[in-house]
Amino acid sequence: MFSLEKSKQAFAEARTYMPGGVNSPVRSYRSVGGNPPFISSASGSRIYDIDGNEYIDYVLSWGPMILGHANPEIVASILEAIPRGTSYGAPTLLETEVAKKIQAFYPSMEMVRMVNSGTESTMSALRLARGYTGRDKIVKFIGCYHGHSDSLLVKAGSGLATFGVPDSPGVPTGVAEDTITLPYNDSDAVRQLFEAHGESIAAIIVEPVAGNMGCVPPVEGFLETLREVTTEHGAVLIFDEVMCGFRSSSGGAQKYYNVIPDLTCLGKIVGGGLPMAVFGGKKEMMSSIAPSGPVYQAGTLSGNPVAMAAGLATLSMLQKYPNAFRQVEESTEALCQGLEAAAKEVGVPVVVQRVGSMFTLFFTDKAVHNFDDASACDMEAFKTFFHYNLERGIYYAASQYESNFLSTCHSDQDLAYTLQIAKEAFQAIKG
């Protein structure tokens, strides 16, 4: 019998010490209601909570664990690193090794700077773009999330190209005003904006496969348009591949769609589950970063030896077993096809969108191309689906606006059970 009794007590206590009881909002289950399970351990495709429930995990720490939880080789690398000291604040051989590996997967990252989170990576890439171009304005797309730095916590008001208003109290209006937001996948809007304001725009930052309004691929020509207008107007094109990196393909979205940005941000998988992220790109541009150049960026724990060990182990394994990408992609494809077929059989309108090993099941009857499309989904159906699954040991992302992920550890049996429960959940929605 499914019970979250201990998690309920733990959540109540956590709420007295931490806002919402969590250290990152989506973990609180605000958008689906109910009590989040408190996790005690994870292994392979599974996570376990403090009530003794076991789940097939399609969240995978929001993406990083492509080789499954507690992968023995990654764990061994971490355990080997720790006795040598957990932080030195000084250069190490490991950092260069990791930089070389990153470049092997992402040749466009000729030089990199390691940081501790995706937020830091996008924030720093933007500072570089602004410093390099001497311009202030940046363009982002509605529904793309790039972490929580001030310039990026901005969404559109009404209108096609709206000068941004802060999405959160505490973001200065002046900062938000320099962020222009446009609808995702709208090439015409991008062209019009650059015709009018191209000379004042430092950068476009984009999730080349959006994952933060659910999984939304770029429509044909969209990324090419971004490349074209930025080149034409001397602006920097930044691909935020923190989520879609190593998920869209071995070389991320830029390899998959063959559009090469000036700067790339990576996080999640690149750190093997430890706090590590990176941004990088053209040597000439990266040379503007301190101490080579004037754009300041720094970090006490950046290039941390334990995080580097985890990252190096992950990247080395992915390099050694390049079939891993195909294997995870094939499992994801099979799961998505199964989900779509089950929904169709029961008669619940869903669209399952996937790129590589990330996917979202949208409760809608038409393709989702942007944030408005995602917002039009049946959120009540999503909630029913989510809780039905959770109570039967399937752990999906707790929001319609999120992507789900698979790992090399998700077995055929995992998928078969997932599809069985999905069908029942669709029947429950149908009523």
The CB-of-24 to ligand PLP minimum distance in angstroms stands at: 7
Nearer to ligand PLP, 57 or 240 (CB): 240
- Interior/surface letters 227-247, b for 16+ CB within 10 angstroms, e for the rest: bbbbeebebbbbbbbbbbbbb
Looking at the Cβ atoms of 53 and 297, the one nearer to ligand PLP is: 297
Between the two ends of the chain, the Cα-to-Cα distance in Å is: 23
Catalytically annotated residue among 137, 140, 155, 268:
268
Catalytic residue among 55, 145, 395, 396: 145
**Sign of the C-alpha dihedral, residues 101, 107, 111, 113?**
negative
Q: Find the radius of gyration of the CA atoms of the chain.
A: 21
Among residues 278 and 419, whose Cβ is nearest to ligand PLP? 278
Q: Is the dihedral of CA 30, 35, 38, 43 positive or negative?
A: negative
Q: Which residues on adjacent β-strands are paired with residue 39?
A: 49
In this complex, which beta carbon is closest to ligand PLP, that of residue 36 or of residue 211? Answer: 211
Helices (H) and strands (E) in the chain, counts: 14, 17
Q: How far is the CB of 240 from ligand PLP (least distance, A)?
A: 5
Catalytic site includes residue 372: no
d(CA 268, CA 420): 30
Report residue 212: phi and psi, to 5°.
-105, 10
Residue among 211, 247, 403 nearest 324 (CA): 247
Rounded-to-integer distance, Cα 281 and Cα 264, Å: 6
Please report the DSSP string for 199-261 in residue order.
GGEEEEEE-SSB-BTBSBPPPTTHHHHHHHHHHHHTPEEEEE-TTTTTTSSTTHHHHHHT---
Active site residue 6: no
> One of 178, 186, 240, 262 is an active-site residue; which one?
240
Whether 395 sits among the annotated catalytic residues: the reply is no
Rounded Cα distance between 62 and 197, Å, is 36
Give residues in contact with ligand PLP (CB under 6 A).
62, 117-119, 122, 145-147, 207, 211-212, 240, 242-243, 267, 277
DSSP structure class, residue 25: G
Work out how close the CB of 48 gets to ligand PLP at its nearest, in angstroms, rounded to a whole number.
23
Closest residue to ligand PLP, based on beta-carbon distance:
118
In the complex with ligand PLP, which residue's Cβ is closer, 145 or 222?
Answer: 145
Helices within 37-117 (DSSP H only): 72-81, 93-105
Smaller CB distance to ligand PLP: residue 126 or 243? 243
Cβ count near 292 (within 10 Å)? 11
Q: How many CB atoms lie within 10 A of CB 31?
A: 16
Residue 97 Cα to chain centre, angstroms? 24
Nearest distance, CB of residue 132 and ligand PLP, angstroms? 20
CA–CA separation, 57 and 66 (whole Å): 11
Q: Which is nearer to ligand PLP, 71 or 403 (CB)?
A: 403
Q: Which is nearer to ligand PLP, 25 or 107 (CB)?
A: 25
Active site residues: 145, 240, 268
